[in-house]
Structure 1
Amino acid sequence: MRLSLLLLLGAWAVPEGLGDQGFLSATAPQLDEEEKYSAHMPTHLRCDACRAIAYQIWQHLAKAEAKLHASDSRGQQELSESEYTDVLDRSCSQNWKNYGVREVNQMKRLIGPGLSEGSEPSISVMVTGGPWPNRLSRMCLQYLGDFGEDEIYEAHQQGREAVEALLCGDTQGPCSAEASIMREEL
């Protein structure tokens, strides 16, 4: 298995006033056995993964609609069932290479497009590749099967938050209050 490490720098220069304290360091997150080898997304990362999937689904559908609207000047028009089904399949089968894990406040978090939260550390190490792309793709395909393309597209028409609420936020979803309590206990 090949894992890639990506060093993320928040600044190109050492801020003034640090003097001799200008040394920055970062270490890669220490992954446990489940995080390294399991075929499934670890429970404590499922909310982040769901939010990433909801973002990617919303973004892919929005781009497809923008292309449709650009070629059709008649105004707002919906994608056909075959179009949104194809877009949803492509959104799940993408390579997910921009996602990985890093430690934020001594807690492992999935990071990537659509997942920025609060203040970013000035320097951090992100572990990409390995099992993360397959796990995200599997979860995405599972959501398509669980909710169906029609319901997901209907949520998309209400906005990004509605897609996230559908996939992640109901009482059984990975971002529900009960799931949050479990993540805090870890």
Structure 2
Amino acid sequence: MRLALPLLLLFGCKATLGSLGDRPPLSATAPVLDDEEKYASYMPVHLRCDACRAVAYQMGQHLAKAEAKSHGPDSSGLQELSESVYTDVLDQTCSQNWQSYGVQEVNGMKRLMGPGLRKGTEPSISVMITGGPWPNRLSTTCFQNLGEFGEDQIYEAYRQGHEALEALLCGGPQGSCSLENPREEL
């Protein structure tokens, strides 16, 4: 009886695997990165809009978490953070490891992917390159935004909603997502 069960499982698996042979095999290749994408210390121009949106998303998430912690269970609504708290939160946001972001090829275009970025239509299987220069580039992008706009202006935009925060950081005539720096939407 002990032998019959393993044989039954073996034949059952073979029958299942045999039926998968009728489907076309899935395959995916990693995006081929050019020298700028591999070695530059800065975020390549064609990925700056995605990077800015990732930074706006992370700032919003960290600020929301800090606001949620700042009010007690009996409070209704979220309490506004003090300047010292939101300054620390934004600094910690930029200092995070950014490991969940990477580059993926979607519809023949290289895109930055990760939390808060629109996925659009993707193939059923794909490869994302994470690590390497991407975390440092995202951290640098985040700190550049802090330097350009300041914590006060960023927090004020955040309080108006995610769209206002993203518009502040990524929009405007010189913004990385402006019409002068177009980025095709998926």
TM-score bin (small chain): 0.7 to 0.9
Aligned residue in 2 for 1:112: 114
* CA displacement, residues 117-155 of structure 1 (integer Å, 9 cap, x when unaligned): 322221000000000000000010010000000000000
RMSD of Structure 2 on Structure 1 (CA)? 1.7
**8 Å CA contact 2:104, 2:127 repeated in 1:** yes
Unaligned runs of at least 5 residues, structure 1:
1-16
Is the 8 Å Cα contact of residues 113 and 119 (structure 2) preserved in structure 1? no
Identical aligned residues as a percent: 72
TM-score of the pair, normalised by structure 1 = 0.84
Give the paired residue count: 166
| Correspondence 1:82-93 to 2 at 5 A | 82-93=84-95
Q: Which structure is richer in relative contact order (CA contacts within 8 A, separation 6 or more)?
A: 1
Closer/same/farther in 2, CA of residues 72 and 148 from structure 1, 3 Å limit: farther
Task: Determine the structure 2 residue equivalent to 1:47.
Answer: 49
1:172 aligns with 2:174: yes
Q: Does the C-alpha gap of structure 1 residues 18 and 173 become closer, same or farther in structure 2, counting only changes over 3 Å?
A: farther
Q: Distance in 2 between matches of 1:22 and 1:75?
A: 53
Give the strand-richer structure, 1 or 2.
Answer: 1
Q: CA deviation at 1:19?
A: 6.6
Say if 2:103 and 2:111, in contact at 8 Å, map to a contact too. Answer: yes
Which position in structure 2 is the counterpart of 1:77?
Answer: 79
What is the TM-score with the length of structure 2 in the denominator? 0.84
Larger radius of gyration: 2
